Amino acid sequence: MKTWSRRRFIRQAAAAGAALATAACRERVVRVQELVEVEKEVTKVITAIVRETVVVGETQIVERTVEKVVTAPPAPQPKVVVVADVMNYGWTRYGILVSPAFQELFPHITVAWRGLDGWAGYPEHVEALAAAGELGDLVESPLGALVIRWAQRSVTQPLDSLIAVDGFDLEGVFRGALAACTHGHELAAMPFIAHAGENLLLYNQHAFKDAGADPPGPQWTLDDLEAASRALTRQDGRPPRFGYGVRYDLPSAYPMLHLFGARLLSEDGRNCALDSRNGVDCLTWAHEQVYSHRLAPQPWQINRGLQRMLLLGELAMLRHSFRTFMHLTGPSLDGLSLGATLMPRHPTSRRVGALATGMAYGITRGSAAPREAFQWIKFMSSREMGVQMLLGGYAEPGCRRASWGDPRVVERYPVCAEVADTADDAPREHLPWNLRTEECLGAWNSRVPALLADEIPPEQCAREICQAIEQVLRPLPPWSPDAL
């Protein structure tokens, strides 16, 4: 048995030359056309009873009644406005730019942008709107204390139920960033930008070329960094005057703590953990580069900032972030010869320094459109959005390993593939139990300059930092206004 097309059937009937057969054929052709038209019109029901004409063999024509399943068009969805109370940075400008593409995917959802200021005052502004019942549906936060603070104060809502209903797969999002967005056992926010912190070694390629030295590579250890610094540092005043520049302020120095296996705070955030052997070793290494080995500039030798010294060739190497590398190698600096690789490993443990860092979206507790807001989060945290954020120069390449390893990204910045290898397992910042993070960081930042100025030794520096942090972490009396 074989089925004929209408054209073949007409051609065969005409070849037979029988008028009656031809007339019958034409009648059946019309019948088939009518059935097709009926089939096109029946779109508002799940099934339809139609007549189907089938040609069997060479001449036999059979008509039969069948039940066909047709697709019903989705019911029109009500228009929804998702109000985003966010900051005015590159990723927001990119989000505004791609909003029309999002609306093509979800015609019933419109994102309205509010706020659009810088970081100063933003957290307080969001909490004031929440207290007044005027907060929108979407807020954003750097990974860390603010994500947890807003979860604790019910400014935002957990995302787990939305993820479960939607069936959204978190596989591929950097696990370190997800851990940094987790409060208790619930996901308090969803990262849309994530990386491994300030764990890149930027280097002036001209300095290495002029010295006939091999540039840094991903298998370098701190011993290799020190040896290269010795070879590149010049005592005659000609560039590069120093092989390496020490940056040890927090939070930028967290990857160095991780590299040495040290912590500022304990896991539960109730104690300072810096006065361990590893913590002292971390401080000692920085002190040695400046004073014992004279490979890094002392504070008074820093000429208008370490970045400027790197650009001018006065400094050969500097630890910094991928974002800084993007900025320093932008279109306006095409002649600058900067390279980047991962900050060298620890020579004994082979540990790579990292910190889960980035930006996250949260959905507010009082949102009238949580599902629609979650669609925007999914859109912005996708692989392609991350790639396009980087290619457009708006931000780092998203929050997914696939984005950081995308061929278009790696072609422009090969170091992104190296960052992706470390960002997945990058540890989250250990937060103080009372979320007084700035005071804990301040205890470090107020004493490390004295270490780098050779005013106090590493052991004393670690001890004083711990003493100051323990004061911050001390539980408040129950009658204290801050405890109520």
Domain boundary among 367, 395, 423: 423
Provide, rounded to the nearest whole percent, the portion of the chain with pLDDT above 90. Answer: 73
Q: Are residues 65 and 132 in the same domain?
A: no
Q: Residue 333: what pLDDT?
A: 56
For 61-70, 104-113, 375-384, which range has the lowest pLDDT when averaged over its residues?
Answer: 61-70
From CA 115, how far away is CA 54, in angstroms rounded? Answer: 65
pLDDT-based confidence at residue 210 (cuts at 50, 70, 90):
confident
Q: Are residues 98 and 53 in the same domain?
A: no
Asked if residues 376 and 111 have their Cβ atoms less than 8 Å apart, the reply is yes
For 61-75, 379-393, 404-418, 458-472, which range has the lowest pLDDT when averaged over its residues?
Answer: 61-75
Asked if residues 354 and 423 have their Cβ atoms less than 8 Å apart, the reply is yes
Positive or negative: CA dihedral 266, 272, 274, 278: negative
Q: Are residues 50 and 134 in the same domain?
A: no
Ramachandran assignment for 95, one of left (phi > 0), alpha (psi -120 to 50 degrees), beta (any other): alpha
Long-range pairs for 379-385: beta carbons < 8 A, 24 or more residues apart: 379/102, 379/105, 380/91, 380/95, 380/192, 381/173, 381/190, 381/191, 381/192, 383/172, 385/98, 385/192
| 21 within a domain of the structure (yes/no) | yes
CA distances from 213 to 142, 240, 316, 319 (A): 39, 13, 11, 19
Is the confidence at residue 27, as pLDDT, over 50? no
pLDDT-based confidence at residue 482 (cuts at 50, 70, 90):
low
From CA 405, how far away is CA 383, in angstroms rounded? Answer: 10
Q: Residue 334: what pLDDT?
A: 52
> How many independent structural domains does the chain possess?
2
Nearest to 139 by CA among 55, 237, 7, 128: 128
Q: Are residues 23 and 48 in the same domain?
A: yes
Residue range 397-412: mean pLDDT, rounded: 96
| Whole-number average pLDDT of the chain | 85
| 461 within a domain of the structure (yes/no) | no
Q: Residue 235 burial by CB count (10 A; 0-12/13-18/19+): exposed, middle or buried?
A: exposed
**Higher per-residue confidence, 402 vs 240:** 402
Q: Residue 427: what pLDDT?
A: 95
Q: Are residues 137 and 166 in the same domain?
A: yes
Q: Residue 67: what pLDDT?
A: 56
Asked if residues 247 and 200 have their Cβ atoms less than 8 Å apart, the reply is no
Is the confidence at residue 4, as pLDDT, over 50? no
Asked if residues 33 and 42 have their Cβ atoms less than 8 Å apart, the reply is no
CATH of the domain at 152: 3.40.190.10
Is the confidence at residue 73, as pLDDT, over 70? no
Which of the listed ranges 57-66, 229-238, 418-427 does the model predict with the highest average pLDDT? 418-427
Q: Are residues 47 and 24 in the same domain?
A: yes
pLDDT-based confidence at residue 80 (cuts at 50, 70, 90):
very high
Q: Which residues of 267-305 are buried (b: 16+ CB within 10 A; e: fewer)?
A: eebebbbbbbebbbebbbbbbbbbeeebbbbeeeebeee
| 90 within a domain of the structure (yes/no) | yes
Q: Residue 59: what pLDDT?
A: 47
pLDDT-based confidence at residue 336 (cuts at 50, 70, 90):
low
| 53 within a domain of the structure (yes/no) | yes
Q: Are residues 111 and 178 in the same domain?
A: yes
| 462 within a domain of the structure (yes/no) | no
Q: Residue 54: what pLDDT?
A: 45
Which phi and psi angles does 125 have, rounded to 5°? -65, -45
Asked if residues 363 and 149 have their Cβ atoms less than 8 Å apart, the reply is no
Q: Are residues 114 and 64 in the same domain?
A: no
Q: Residue 41: what pLDDT?
A: 35
Q: Tell me the pLDDT tens digit for each residue of 147-199.
A: 999 999 999 999 999 999 999 999 999 999 999 999 999 999 999 999 999 99
From CA 393, how far away is CA 413, in angstroms rounded? Answer: 12
| 96 within a domain of the structure (yes/no) | yes
| 276 within a domain of the structure (yes/no) | no
pLDDT-based confidence at residue 296 (cuts at 50, 70, 90):
very high
Domain boundary among 18, 34, 69: 69
For 15-24, 76-85, 298-307, which range has the lowest pLDDT when averaged over its residues?
Answer: 15-24
438, HSE (Cβ side, Cα atoms, 13 Å): 1
Q: Are residues 86 and 181 in the same domain?
A: yes
Provide, rounded to the nearest whole percent, the portion of the chain with pLDDT above 70. Answer: 81
For 75-79, 192-196, 314-318, 350-354, which range has the lowest pLDDT when averaged over its residues?
Answer: 75-79
Q: State yes or no: cis peptide before 251, omega within 30 of 0.
A: yes
pTM flag (> 0.75) = yes
Residue 51's beta-bridge partner residues? 65
Q: Are residues 371 and 398 in the same domain?
A: yes
Q: Are residues 124 and 154 in the same domain?
A: yes
| 212 within a domain of the structure (yes/no) | no
Residue range 73-83: mean pLDDT, rounded: 83
Which phi and psi angles does 46 have, rounded to 5°? -80, -40
From CA 385, how far away is CA 379, in angstroms rounded? Answer: 7
Domain boundary among 387, 402, 423: 423
Q: Are residues 95 and 149 in the same domain?
A: yes
Q: Which residues span the domain enclosing 161?
A: 80-196+356-423
Q: Residue 65: what pLDDT?
A: 53
Which phi and psi angles does 312 have, rounded to 5°? -85, -5
Asked if residues 301 and 228 have their Cβ atoms less than 8 Å apart, the reply is no
